[in-house]
């Protein structure tokens, strides 16, 4: 159990699409560091900011925020989130924004699944 009281279940994370091998390589086997970074990601709740930008049709900042989230998800080996944020980033930059709301709903579902799998569904945003 970590400082937030979450017991991360890596098997459940893997079932949700987490690539444990990639994370282990990226974090050089330092599981505690990975957990701290994952918790920082969850607490940041940047998906809410991204949803607000999209609701305001602020596509330039949607692209920037999605790019940041893509990098975070990629570094944390949350591959389905990486993929959806890459799509959002591409659509925002190209001006093909009509599909972004559906992509954001899917991103929210994935974020919730990863939070639940990590045992951190109730972590408050900062």
Number of H helices, E strands in the chain: 7, 0
What would the pLDDT profile of 92-103 be if each residue is shown by its tens digit?
999 999 999 999
What would the pLDDT profile of 1-33 be if each residue is shown by its tens digit?
445 567 788 888 888 899 999 999 999 989 889
Tokens of 98: 């009509």
Among 39-43, 87-91, 105-109, 122-126, the minimum mean pLDDT is found in: 122-126
- Which pLDDT belongs to residue 3? 53
What would the pLDDT profile of 44-76 be if each residue is shown by its tens digit?
889 999 999 999 999 999 999 999 999 999 999
The Cα 75–Cα 5 span in angstroms is 23
Q: What are the phi and psi torsion angles at 87 (to 5°)?
A: -65, -45
Largest CA distance in the chain: 44
CB hemisphere CA count around 23 (13 angstroms):
22
pLDDT at 110 over 70: yes
pTM: predicted TM-score of the whole model, two decimal places: 0.89
Length of the chain: 126
In 3D space, the residue among 31, 38, 33, 59 whose CA is nearest the CA of residue 117 turns out to be 38
Q: Computed over its alpha carbons, how large is the radius of gyration of the chain?
A: 14
């Amino acid at each position: 159990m970590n400082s937030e009281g979450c017991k991360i279940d890596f098997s459940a994370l893997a079932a949700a699409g987490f690539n444990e091998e990639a994370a282990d390589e990226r974090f050089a086997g330092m599981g505690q560091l990975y957990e701290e970074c994952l918790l920082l990601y969850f607490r940041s709740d940047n998906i809410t900011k991204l949803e607000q930008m999209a609701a305001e049709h602020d596509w330039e900042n949607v692209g920037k925020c999605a790019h940041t989230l893509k990098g975070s998800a990629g570094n944390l080996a949350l591959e389905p989130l990486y993929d959806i944020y890459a799509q959002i980033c591409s659509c925002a930059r190209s001006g093909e924004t009509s599909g972004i709301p559906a992509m954001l709903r899917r991103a929210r579902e994935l974020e919730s699944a990863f939070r639940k799998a990590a045992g951190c569904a109730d972590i408050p945003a900062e």
